[in-house]
């Protein structure tokens, strides 16, 4: 069984993330979307909330699971029998960092491969940071986040503004 892991903070999950999930799910037997805890970020949603938001957006994909992890990614993967890391690439600027991380992961576990998946061109501008900023200004989020979580994002941003 081919198991891949798509790690990220997903705060919140965007249509760009969902595009990578859909495309990856069509290639692998199982795709695990792994909400990672990033100590460098100040998240809008807790890791548990992000897992629930993503689960609502991926219900239609039978072979996609959503989990969270505070462990080293290669350890998380080893525990699940996964051999492929999926990373979405929006721009050339993403490449340097992701390439460096891929080399570190390969050094930690030479059996793990990283697949760098170019973003669909209509999502190259899109990031969770952009979504949070647009939500703060009350922009229509239809072009940014899955409809299943749009209200959650707006409610959270509005509650922080008060």
- Please give the positions annotated as active site: 17, 41, 90, 128
82's CB contacts (< 8 A; 6+ apart) are 3, 4, 5, 32, 76, 112
Triad 98, 103, 104: Cα angle to 5°: 95
Q: What are phi and psi of 83, to 5 degrees?
A: -125, -5
Q: Is the dihedral of CA 92, 100, 67, 84 positive or negative?
A: positive
> Which residue, 72, 89, 60, 61, is CA-closest to 34?
72
Tokens of 31: 């795709």
d(CA 135, CA 41): 18
At 135, list the tokens: 């939500």
């Amino acid at each position: 069984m081919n198991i891949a892991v798509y790690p990220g903070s997903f705060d919140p999950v965007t249509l760009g993330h969902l595009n990578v999930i859909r495309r990856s799910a069509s290639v692998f037997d199982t795709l695990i979307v792994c909400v990672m805890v990033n100590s460098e970020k100040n998240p809008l949603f807790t890791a548990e909330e992000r897992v629930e938001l993503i689960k609502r957006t991926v219900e239609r994909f039978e072979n996609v699971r959503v989990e969270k992890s505070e462990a080293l990614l290669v350890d998380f993967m080893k525990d699940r029998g996964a051999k492929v890391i999926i990373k979405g690439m929006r721009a050339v600027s993403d490449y340097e960092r992701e390439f460096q991380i891929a080399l570190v992961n390969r050094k930690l576990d030479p059996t793990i491969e990283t697949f760098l998946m170019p973003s669909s061109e209509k999502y190259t501008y899109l990031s969770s940071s952009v979504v949070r900023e647009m939500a703060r200004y009350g922009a229509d989020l239809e072009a940014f986040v899955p409809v299943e979580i749009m209200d959650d994002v707006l409610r959270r941003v509005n509650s922080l503004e008060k």
